[in-house]
């Protein structure tokens, strides 16, 4: 876990030196299956390796349970299940990203892999139109990096509890 953190920090530091802050936002790129998603780095508290998750009964399926993070009990959810994808398999690259949300406090999300930190120019982020016939959208926009498209996760829609 510390290794990942280090990488993250270094990138931040380097990036901080050679840019005017206002137009760039840093995102951590994660992988879910074959798709790549970006999470705004300002909401990320920590990234830890997969560990023992204690199941909590009578909660929605995407809530995997709770973990112990240095004495704090933190709920963990499966991002795949939350977004209506297939359940994940735990692999060596599976990580739990600890998000710090204003309303709910710390919440962990399970992702298949944490890839890199990228800087996106806010002007290049395209807003996505709401379509898909009322299906909840978890994407706040799409960014472009080295020719690849990165969907940016809308954390507020993820954290809202399902009303189903």
Partner 1 sequence: MDVSQYLEIFLDETKEHLQNLNTQILNLESDSENMDTINEIFRAAHSLKGMAGTMGYKRMQTLTHDMENVFSEVRNGTIKVQPEMIDILFQCLDALEEYTNNIQNSADEGTNDNEPLIKLLQGVLNGEKEASEAGEKPAAEAPAANATESGSEEKWNEIALDESQVTVLLEARKQGKKVYGLNVRVQETCLLKAARAFLVFKAVEEHGEIVVSQPSAQDVEDEKFDRDFTLIVLSDANLEDIIKAAENVSEIEKVTGGDVKLPEAPVESKEMQKQEEDAVSVKAPEAAKAAPAAKTGTDKKPAAGKPVVNRTVRVDIEKLDVLMNLVSELIIAKNSLVSAAGQEQNNSGFNEQIEYLESVTTSLHESVMKVRMVPIESVVSKFPRMIRDLSKKLDKKLELYMTGEETELDRTVVDEIGDPLMHLLRNSADHGIESAEVRAQRGKPATGSIFLDAYQDGNNVIIEVRDDGNGIDVKAVRAKAIERGTITPEQAETMTDKEIINLLFLPSFSTAKQVTDVSGRGVGLDVVKSKIESLSGEVDVKSQLGVGSTWTIRLPLTLAIIQALMVVVGHEKYAIALGSIQSIEDVRPDEVKLVENKEVISLRGCVIPLIRLNQVLNSESSKSPEDNLNVVIVKKGDMQAGLVIDELIGQQEIVIKSLGKYIRQCKFISGATILGDGEVALILDANALI
Phi, psi (deg, nearest 5) at residue 50: -55, 140
Does residue 97 bind partner 1 (CB under 8 A)?
A: no
Looking at the DSSP assignment, which residues form a beta bridge with residue 125?
none
Q: Which residue in 28, 83, 107, 153 binds partner 1 (CB under 8 A)? A: 107
Using a 10 angstrom Cβ sphere, with 0-12 exposed, 13-18 middle and 19 or more buried, the burial of residue 118 is buried
CA dist 148 and 56 (Å) reads 38
User: CB count, 10 Å around CB of 62?
Assistant: 20
d(CA 17, CA 79): 33
* Site pattern 53..92 for partner 1 (x: CB under 8 A): -xxxxxx---x-xxxx--xxxxx-----------------
Q: By CB under 8 A, which span of 16-24, 88-96, 101-109, 122-130 interacts with partner 1? A: 101-109
- Provide the mask over 34-53, with x wherever binding to partner 1 is found by CB under 8 A and - wherever it is not: ------------------x-
Write out the residues near partner 1 by the rule CB under 8 A. 52, 54-59, 63, 65-68, 71-75, 101, 103-107, 159, 161
């Amino acid at each position: 876990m510390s290794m990942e953190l280090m990488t993250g920090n270094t990138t931040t530091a380097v990036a901080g030196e050679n840019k005017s802050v206002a137009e760039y936002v840093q995102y951590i790129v994660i992988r879910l299956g074959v798709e790549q998603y970006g999470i705004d780095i300002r909401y990320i508290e920590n990234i830890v390796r997969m560990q023992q998750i204690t199941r909590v009964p009578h909660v929605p399926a995407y809530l995997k349970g709770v973990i112990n993070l240095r004495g704090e009990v933190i709920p963990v959810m499966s991002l795949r299940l939350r977004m209506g994808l297939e359940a994940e398999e735990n692999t060596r690259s599976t990580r739990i990203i600890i998000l710090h949300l204003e309303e709910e406090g710390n919440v962990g999300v399970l992702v298949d892999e944490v890839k890199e930190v990228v800087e996106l120019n806010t002007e290049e982020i395209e807003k996505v139109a709401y379509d898909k016939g009322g299906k909840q959208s978890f994407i706040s926009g799409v960014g472009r990096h080295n020719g690849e498209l990165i969907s940016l996760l809308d954390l507020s829609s993820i954290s809202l509890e399902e009303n189903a």
